[in-house]
Amino acid sequence: MSAIMEVFLRRTRKSTNETVAAFRDDRFRVLRKTALPIIVGLSFLVVPAAYALQSIVLDDFESYEEGGVPSKWESNNGKTLFPITPALMNDSESFFIREENGNKFVRAITVDNAFRMILTNGNQFEWRLPDHPRISWDWRAIELPEGAREDTGKKNDTGGAVYVVFSKDFIGRPRIIKYTYSSTLPFGTTKSYGQLKVLVIASAMDGIGEWQHVERDLYADYQRLFGKTPPDEPLAIFLWSDSDTMHDRATVDFDNIALLGQTGVE
């Protein structure tokens, strides 16, 4: 266990001492597959070769057996990381591989509980942000904790979230952007929990039950939320689900977690 991992794993399921800073921003965009904007400019045609790097597919879940668990990923107990195994799964937290129409994905289910899947930079993958400044994934909310909202501690559950852990500050607190599929808050809402910034990029207000494609410019998001340039080597990525505060349940599917180069849509 590295010191860095120990630091960010101290960030647990509940946070306090918040300040409210919710606002909307049209720059926050969720790109639905059916409405992917086509933006082709001259700059696209003259992109330097150095930027034309291939995407890093962190997981498309096709390598696993249906009904299995995503064993490439790890979970944690306090500071200790360990691979995900079927023995970790139970009635209140399960992340199993499902298949529909020939495509496999992971289904995150929590019932009055919380669970995360972790990939660590330098362990399961190698990532330099200048080379791959964007992250993308597909997700589908099946059910979300009723009434949950990320801006209120007594209701703070997120049925599905993706965390990007960037670095730690001078006293060791991890700097994180938590991208959420919110039960109640509108798209574009932000909430600051100190070094943990929550960004609502999908909302049940706009519906659930359909696959959505998400693509985020991590430089732009970090600059907006932290007011500075992000570090070159982020630490980790989590997939997350919790329903423990509302004592409810959540079911969210994840697929195609990838890091993208500069070339392409922006």
167 binds Ca ion (CB under 5 A): no
Tokens of 70: 């995503």
* Interface with Ca ion in residues 20-79 (CB under 5 A): 60-61
Binding-site string for Ca ion from residue 81 to residue 110, where x marks contact by CB under 5 A and - marks none: ----------------------xx------
Candidate list 74, 93, 215, 242; residue touching Ca ion; CB under 5 A: 242
- Whose Cβ is closer to Ca ion: residue 151's or residue 244's? 244
- Please state the closest distance from residue 249 (CB atom) to Ca ion, in A: 12
245 binds Ca ion (CB under 5 A): yes
Report CA Rg, the chain. Answer: 18
- Please state the closest distance from residue 44 (CB atom) to Ca ion, in A: 27
- Please state the closest distance from residue 230 (CB atom) to Ca ion, in A: 26
Tokens of 158: 């997120």
Candidate list 157, 217, 221, 253; residue touching Ca ion; CB under 5 A: 157
- Whose Cβ is closer to Ca ion: residue 104's or residue 140's? 104
- Whose Cβ is closer to Ca ion: residue 28's or residue 254's? 254
Residue nearest to Ca ion (CB): 245
Alpha-carbon distance 227 to 101, whole Å?
Answer: 43
* Interface with Ca ion in residues 187-216 (CB under 5 A): none
- Please state the closest distance from residue 98 (CB atom) to Ca ion, in A: 10
240 binds Ca ion (CB under 5 A): no
Candidate list 255, 257, 260, 261; residue touching Ca ion; CB under 5 A: 255
Chain residues in the site for Ca ion (CB under 5 A): 60-61, 103-104, 157, 242, 244-245, 255
